[in-house]
Amino acid sequence: MKTLSVALPGREYEIYIESGLLDRAGEHIRAVCPRAKRLSVVTDSNVAPLYLQRVQNALASAGFAVEGIVVPAGESSKSLEMLGQLYGQMLDFGLSRTDAVVALGGGVVGDLTGFAAATVLRGVDFIQIPTTLLAQVDSSVGGKVAIDLPAGKNLAGSFWQPKVVLMDPDCLNTLPDAVFCDGMAEVIKYGCIRDEAFFRLLDGCGSRAGVMAHIEQVLHTCCAIKADIVRADERESGLRMLLNFGHTIGHAFEVAGAYEKWTHGQAVAVGMLWAARLGAQLGVTPARIEEEIAALLAKYDLPRHIPCPWNVMEHAVCRDKKRGDGGIRVVLLNELGQACTRAMEIPDLLTNLKELHGQRVGL
């Protein structure tokens, strides 16, 4: 078993990475929630047939009363309506402030369930059991939880750290190739922003099979990078912004596809290329970096271009959560493995992006 500690004062927790960990979920959760009697386990319609009963059995063996709640798979479940339904089901189950809520699934389930845990009864304990690559390397660690609003993605949320994160790499074996590759965008992001050697390792792996041969190392490396950043900046006031490399423009691509046509990973993949091109335009990023990232994305069947009308991109950038006082901090690369932020006025950023948008028409 590989373990990592996220050492936030008063909110410390462990990340456990081990094959077969689903069957030992009960003992790990009992260790961090000794007073809990009831657990609400939230999952989605894709994951439930694969793992819900197995996890419920593991939790029941540790003495918990367990309720399974299944939401429709997909981004549309991160809504106020679905949040209200979770509240109702949890309260009908008799959930109390000494009980806990478990997220079993990918990033949508983790975000939705975490926000429910942060707000129901003014906050109950929260456990993450991520089952997708994207969730295991990124969204399950760090405590950012949210739902979407009509105005944009993740615009209502909180910081609510889990009590423990349980990662079973065997869950990745049931992912369709497209979902696995979706997670690889976030994996590649970590190499871009913090670890060039890791970027080169991913380049050498070259395929899903190659990554799976090193999967515990891959998961540990990504989580270690994120844990270090979260320890230093839990609420994204500075250093944690680096984790948003590729996301400012990536969110525009998600909007352009109505959150259905393009996945988060696909959008971030192309967003990283735009960030690299923007950095080169501003004299921050060597021009070759875009080509190196594009070549690595191609190995994992991630797109290098997504069509996006200019008005959609402009609107998404103006609504970005990192904006403030007429400006925004964009995440760029000084080199592979060396990310930085740069303060820009919104009009200046839009001028630069519009020029890039024109360059990319028809690509």
Contacts of 160 (CB under 8 A, 6+ apart): 114, 115, 117, 118, 123, 126, 143, 145
Q: What is the mean pLDDT of residues 268-280?
A: 97
Q: Which of 226, 277, 299, 357 is catalytic?
A: 226
CA distances from 155 to 30, 144, 319, 335 (A): 33, 12, 9, 31
| 361 — pLDDT class (breaks 50, 70, 90) | very low
- Does residue 240 carry a catalytic annotation? yes
Per-residue pLDDT at 161 exceeds 80: yes
Pairing of strands 125-130, 164-167: parallel
- Does residue 75 carry a catalytic annotation? no
- Does residue 244 carry a catalytic annotation? yes
Q: Which of 38, 75, 220, 244 is catalytic?
A: 244
- Does residue 236 carry a catalytic annotation? yes
- Does residue 220 carry a catalytic annotation? no
Q: Which of 67, 75, 234, 236 is catalytic?
A: 236
pLDDT tens for residues 39-68?
Answer: 999 999 999 999 999 999 999 999 999 999
Q: Which of 38, 78, 251, 277 is catalytic?
A: 251
Confidence (pLDDT) at 177: 96
Q: Supply φ then ψ for residue 142, to 5 degrees.
A: 115, -15
pLDDT tens for residues 316-326?
Answer: 888 776 666 66
Confidence (pLDDT) at 360: 59
Q: Which of 67, 75, 186, 234 is catalytic?
A: 186
Per-residue pLDDT at 168 exceeds 70: yes
Report pTM: 0.92
Q: Which of 163, 240, 299, 321 is catalytic?
A: 240
- Does residue 254 carry a catalytic annotation? no
- Does residue 144 carry a catalytic annotation? yes
pLDDT tens for residues 207-263?
Answer: 999 999 999 999 999 999 999 999 888 887 788 899 999 999 998 999 899 888 999
Confidence (pLDDT) at 150: 85
- Does residue 357 carry a catalytic annotation? no
Q: Which of 153, 194, 247, 321 is catalytic?
A: 247
Q: What percent of the chain has pLDDT over 90?
A: 85
CA distance 99 to 321: 32
Confidence (pLDDT) at 174: 96
Q: Which of 28, 38, 78, 144 is catalytic?
A: 144
pLDDT tens for residues 9-39?
Answer: 889 999 999 999 999 999 999 999 999 999 9
H or E segment and range at residue 66: strand 65-71
Structural domains for the chain: 2-174 (3.40.50.1970), 177-360 (1.20.1090.10)
Sign of CA dihedral 48, 54, 55, 56: positive
CB-CB neighbours of 221 under 10 Å: 21
Q: If you average pLDDT over every residue of the chain, what do you get?
A: 94
Per-residue pLDDT at 362 exceeds 60: no
Confidence (pLDDT) at 358: 83
